Structure 1
Amino acid sequence: MSNRAKNIIVLLLVGALVALAGCEKQEDAGGEAAEKTEEAKSEETTDEKEEAEVEELVFAFQPQANPEALTPDAEKLAEHLSKEIGVEAKVFMPTNYAGVVEALRAGNADVAYFSGWPYLVAHKEAGAELVVVEERDGKPFYYSQWYVSKDGDVDSLADLKGKDIAFTSPTSTSGYLFPLAKVIEEGLVEKQGDPKKFFGEVLYAGGYEQALKALVNGKVAAAAASDYAYDRYLNDEERAKIEVLTKQGPVPTHGIAVRGELSDEMTEKIKNALLTLNKPENKELLKSVYGAEKLVARTHDEHVGALSKALELVGDKDDQKAAEDKKADQDKKADQSK
């Protein structure tokens, strides 16, 4: 090969290397530019979230007893929090548990006070973030119980085969999830099975009080509710008619969560305002809503980890929301017919 040919080959190789290096540099520069653009967008989004001014907060309260009876106390609590936070506040009182979750998801509520299972759904579907939880008897949990009539013939869960029973709601933690999980654990209903294949009529009463009074009034053979509902919603005469059949749990206490779009600054203000309810002069105000004794800060993982086993047994089914929607429609039609 001539010297001239060799020189040409060398020049071509050098040129190729230079071009390749240029391409790599361009790619690196392009990648860095893209990363900076994404970072800028992220920072811009964060800044927008943090700088968004909140002029009004909507507090949603999970229904347990008669919503109309709960509303005045809820409004007093919201008024107190409004003064502490420095923004206007109003109360939203849905007719069922699913309404609380949907309000957060749709941005129609900013803060929600609800039980563990609906909170989990809201965390998943609406990005809800837990800020504080209740303490009862000094603990962030309570128990679910099956109640039966003292004069009845039910001595075990197995005796409920074919009998009418009352749950509170298909999305209630202590009034559905844990009591049904107990029935499944005893082998009376298949894992993630339909409770209607074991019980007679399954009534979704709408709250603890309604479920317990359905039992007291002889409409059902058993009712599921929280342990504290017995003292809170029944008088002495009514309590004398029923007794506890089984106890299951522990169940995470109710928590208060905010929708994910609220800024960190506003979330902190809400948390601090809620914790002022622990002051001696505010204790009765806190207790008036759901009977809580104290609020404490607690993380998502700390508080709802115990739900996993019950959810695995019962299943997180879409038809639970459908059942609740059906119950709401039935109530609406009943009201219209009056």
Structure 2
Amino acid sequence: MKKMLTLLISLSLVAVAAGCGTKARDAQKAAAPVKTKDTITVAWYPNESGAELKTAREELGKVIATATGKKVEHKTTTDYIIAIEAIASGSADLAYMGPQGYVEANAKNNKVQPLVVPSGESGTLEDAVYYSWLSVRKGDEEAYKSGNGFSIDNIAGKKFSFVSNSSTSGFKVPSANIVNYFSKKDKFKSLTADDLLQGGKDKFFGEVLFGGSHQGAAVNLLTSKADVAAFCDTCVANYVDLSSGTANTAGAVYKVKQGAAEPFNTQVGKEFSLISVTPVLNSPFAINTGTISAEDLKKLRDAFISDAVTKNTNIFLPKDSKDSGLFKQKTGKEKFLPVEDAFFNPVRMLSK
């Protein structure tokens, strides 16, 4: 199924990146000098707050500390909103967050600006995407097949798990896809994203759950609390292996691997199938320019895009690594790239 949203995001990548203005940089130059801080606080979403990613967080902390000469404090969270509010309020200076969370933080405080995003496999912004999945338990996928492909027609009335309503790939993108698809049918012609937030007898879904993290949404599916779940590829990559099919393609089957960390440690061997896949703009490291000086901002950007970071195997895991990490080399071209606010305009459009 060729989704309007897929087309919008895919075709916007180059144009938006190429058309980014210098508004953020001009604002930084015009702003009053920022008082130097001794400690830089980094906020992390629940997805990246687990113990298995401590090494990756601390390695990035070392990069920040070396670049600025400041102490680094990691603020792990249990809720998207905590991280979003932290960077918007200035109680955190830096945050790794999804595109929707960044857009929300920027709307609260326009001093929140993107610092860098991980590139795509080409080493550019052209394919700087990850993937939003709709998944069902292995064995249930037959109900969602249509000809040689898959259809989401039968998700109506099911128990459904999102991640958080501030999640891009775990709510914003899948809800937009669902509304776009079903609103063409007479029965659901008035359907809105807000209608998907709660389940019930007279609602679109029979029951709606929020996993709180992508891992949580996936576990809701595997434990049969949900029949269908939305979560992304990158956030569960440390816990699952491709069992059959083509990665990031409807019909692919993934299995929870041996030794998977919490919360997948009790789900080892369980499988799920993808019934819908949509590309999403990569997640930024965002910075609060009201709490980080222009001098430190430049130092941080230069450090993140440096060869030293690109080649740091604790930050970009080697292709054949079995370790858990935030980023992984697939082609050897992956790296961090500077990006500006306008890059995320396609995500803003989802709320209009």
Q: TM-score, normalised by structure 1?
A: 0.71
Matched, 1:258 2:287: yes
Question: Aligned pair in 2 of structure 1 residues 277, 119: CA closer, same or farther (>3 Å)?
Answer: farther
Matched AA of 2:280: V
Could you tell me how far apart the structure 2 residues matched to 1:57 and 1:97 are?
20
Q: How many residues align?
A: 265
Could you tell me how far apart the structure 2 residues matched to 1:231 and 1:67 are?
14
Matched, 1:305 2:336: no
Bigger drift between 53-62 and 64-73 goes to 64-73
Structure with more relative contact order (C-alpha pairs < 8 Å, separation 6 or more): 2
Look up the match of 1:30: none
Matched AA of 1:133: V
Could you tell me how far apart the structure 2 residues matched to 1:280 and 1:131 are?
16
Look up the match of 1:38: none
Matched, 1:161 2:156: yes
Question: Aligned pair in 2 of structure 1 residues 157, 280: CA closer, same or farther (>3 Å)?
Answer: closer
1:30-63 CA deviation, whole Å, 9 max, x = no partner? xxxxxxxxxxxxxxx968515x222111111122
Matched, 1:119 2:102: yes
Question: Aligned pair in 2 of structure 1 residues 65, 223: CA closer, same or farther (>3 Å)?
Answer: farther
Structure 2 unmatched runs, 5+: 1-28, 145-150, 244-254, 257-268, 318-323, 329-333
- Matching of residues 1-338 of structure 1 within 5 Å: 49-50=33-34, 52-64=35-47, 67-126=50-109, 127-138=111-122, 139-152=127-140, 154-155=143-144, 156-187=151-182, 190-195=191-196, 196=199, 197-229=203-235, 231-235=237-241, 237-238=255-256, 241-248=271-278, 250-261=279-290, 262-276=292-306, 279=309, 281-287=311-317, 289-291=325-327, 293-301=334-342, 303-312=343-352
Contact 2:164–2:211 under 8 Å retained in 1: yes
Could you tell me how far apart the structure 2 residues matched to 1:309 and 1:124 are?
13
Could you tell me how far apart the structure 2 residues matched to 1:93 and 1:165 are?
27
1:86-124 CA deviation, whole Å, 9 max, x = no partner? 111111112111111211232211111111000011111
Q: Structure 1 residue runs of 4+, over 6 Å off? A: none
1:244-269 CA deviation, whole Å, 9 max, x = no partner? 11122x31111011113132212111
The structural deviation recorded for 1:180 is 0.9
Identity of aligned residues (%): 23
Could you tell me how far apart the structure 2 residues matched to 1:230 and 1:95 are?
17
Question: Aligned pair in 2 of structure 1 residues 217, 136: CA closer, same or farther (>3 Å)?
Answer: farther
The structural deviation recorded for 1:191 is 2.7
Q: Tell me the secondary structure at the aligned position of residue 77 of structure 2.
A: coil
Matched AA of 2:143: V
Contact 2:314–2:325 under 8 Å retained in 1: no
Could you tell me how far apart the structure 1 residues matched to 2:143 and 2:308 are?
42
Question: Aligned pair in 2 of structure 1 residues 216, 81: CA closer, same or farther (>3 Å)?
Answer: same
Could you tell me how far apart the structure 2 residues matched to 1:143 and 1:171 are?
16
The structural deviation recorded for 1:75 is 2.3
The structural deviation recorded for 1:286 is 4.1
Bigger drift between 257-266 and 69-78 goes to 69-78
Contact 1:65–1:208 under 8 Å retained in 2: no
Q: Tell me the secondary structure at the aligned position of residue 232 of structure 1.
A: coil
Matched AA of 1:135: S
The structural deviation recorded for 1:205 is 0.6
Q: Tell me the secondary structure at the aligned position of residue 134 of structure 2.
A: strand
Over the aligned positions, Cα root-mean-square deviation in angstroms equals: 2.5
Look up the match of 1:10: none
Q: Tell me the secondary structure at the aligned position of residue 54 of structure 1.
A: coil
Could you tell me how far apart the structure 2 residues matched to 1:183 and 1:228 are?
22
- Pick the structure with more strand per residue: 2
Matched AA of 1:219: K
Could you tell me how far apart the structure 2 residues matched to 1:55 and 1:282 are?
26
Could you tell me how far apart the structure 1 residues matched to 2:307 and 2:57 are?
13
1:293-326 CA deviation, whole Å, 9 max, x = no partner? 421011111x2122134223xxxxxxxxxxxxxx
Contact 1:175–1:226 under 8 Å retained in 2: yes
Q: Report which of the two structures shows the higher radius of gyration computed on alpha carbons.
A: 1
Question: Aligned pair in 2 of structure 1 residues 65, 234: CA closer, same or farther (>3 Å)?
Answer: farther
Question: Aligned pair in 2 of structure 1 residues 107, 98: CA closer, same or farther (>3 Å)?
Answer: same
Matched AA of 2:272: I
Matched AA of 1:84: A
Structure 1 unmatched runs, 5+: 1-44, 313-338
Look up the match of 1:329: none
Could you tell me how far apart the structure 1 residues matched to 2:282 and 2:130 are?
6
Question: Aligned pair in 2 of structure 1 residues 271, 291: CA closer, same or farther (>3 Å)?
Answer: same
Q: TM-score, normalised by structure 2?
A: 0.68
